[in-house]
């Protein structure tokens, strides 16, 4: 299935990062794999029910790869190999399995390609340089119909341009990467910035003025945080945090 609209891929520049699958099997034990219609069609054509029985489960109207009692995927073989991959090849696997540890995050101008450090090989920086994987990543991107431009708003009524999004991202990235500031202060600073920006209106703060605003806020953070500490989380924010923590731990 091809995606409805073409969107360019923006590859994260990580010249020193390396990755190759070393067959540890951790991702086949730690993740719950949601299946697309195309994945289900492939599984049916491979006739697994004849040898393994039902290899999928349904939860809240969605289908997922079945797991053994210990949490491992039903297709995980000894030695960390995938039975689908072994018998039918890489492209016969569900798309989520093919894609990991890479991921896509689309915005208005591009789909940004990231990589997950939940993968042991990525964490250990073992394998081939990332550019060697890009042909496969592009192939898999073509199979993701959701990979279309996503509109992003600075506030309820003000749609951001790609340049404005980049401006905000660079300011936040510069702050969190500032090792001269203790990490806990940097994290509090992100929360403070989020609170300030979420209550702002940007109708007249566009382009260069937005860049000036972000620079001013980031430069003022070390002095402002002691005077204007981060407000306690609301009930809705606490619920969102619990959900995020659950999904991260579940994965």
On the question of pLDDT at 7 being above 90, the answer is no
Of 162, 112, 163, nearest in space to 137 by CA: 112
Q: According to the model, what pLDDT value does residue 249 have? A: 62
pLDDT band at 84 (very low <50, low <70, confident <90, very high): very high
On the question of pLDDT at 222 being above 80, the answer is yes
Q: What's the average model confidence in pLDDT over 188-198?
A: 87
Q: According to the model, what pLDDT value does residue 101 have? A: 94
* Other beta carbons within 10 Å of 45: 10
In angstroms, rounded to a whole number, what is the distance separating the alpha carbons of residues 118 and 64? 20
Does residue 58 or residue 226 have the better pLDDT? 58
22 burial via Cβ count (<10 Å: 0-12, 13-18, 19+): middle
pTM listed for this prediction: 0.70
- Average pLDDT of the chain is 87
Q: Return the DSSP state at 34.
A: B
Collapsed DSSP state (helix, strand, coil) of residue 51: helix
pLDDT, tens only, 26-75: 999 988 899 999 999 999 999 999 999 999 999 989 999 999 999 999 99
In angstroms, rounded to a whole number, what is the distance separating the alpha carbons of residues 163 and 46? 46
Q: What's the average model confidence in pLDDT over 131-138?
A: 90
CB 147 within 8 A of CB 3: yes
Q: According to the model, what pLDDT value does residue 2 have? A: 42
pLDDT band at 198 (very low <50, low <70, confident <90, very high): confident
Collapsed DSSP state (helix, strand, coil) of residue 9: strand
Q: According to the model, what pLDDT value does residue 1 have? A: 41
Does residue 10 or residue 180 have the better pLDDT? 180
In angstroms, rounded to a whole number, what is the distance separating the alpha carbons of residues 111 and 9? 5
Q: According to the model, what pLDDT value does residue 27 have? A: 92
Torsion over CA: 206, 209, 210, 211 (sign): positive
pLDDT band at 4 (very low <50, low <70, confident <90, very high): very low
């Amino acid at each position: 299935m091809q995606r409805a609209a073409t969107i360019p891929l923006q590859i994260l520049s990580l010249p020193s990062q390396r990755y190759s699958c070393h067959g540890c099997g951790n991702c086949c034990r730690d993740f719950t794999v949601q299946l697309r219609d195309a994945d289900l069609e492939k599984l049916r054509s491979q006739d697994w029910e004849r040898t393994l029985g039902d290899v999928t489960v349904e939860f809240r109207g969605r289908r997922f790869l079945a797991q053994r009692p210990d949490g491992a995927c039903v297709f995980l073989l000894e030695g960390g190999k995938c039975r689908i991959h072994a018998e039918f090849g890489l492209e016969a696997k569900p798309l989520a399995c093919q894609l990991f540890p890479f991921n896509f995050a689309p915005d208005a101008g591009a789909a940004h390609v990231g990589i997950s450090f939940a993968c042991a090989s990525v964490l250990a920086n073992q394998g081939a340089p990332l550019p060697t994987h890009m042909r496969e990543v592009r192939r898999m991107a073509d199979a993701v119909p959701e990979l279309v431009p996503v509109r992003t708003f600075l506030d309820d009524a003000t749609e951001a341009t790609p340049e404005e999004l980049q401006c905000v991202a660079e300011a936040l990235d510069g702050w969190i990467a500032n090792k001269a500031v203790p990490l806990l202060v940097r994290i509090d600073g992100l929360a403070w910035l989020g609170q300030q920006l979420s209550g702002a209106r940007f109708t007249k703060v566009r382009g260069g003025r937005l860049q000036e605003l972000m620079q001013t806020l980031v430069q003022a953070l070390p002095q402002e945080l002691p005077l204007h500490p981060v407000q306690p989380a609301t009930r809705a924010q606490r619920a969102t945090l619990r959900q995020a923590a659950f999904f991260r731990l579940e994965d």
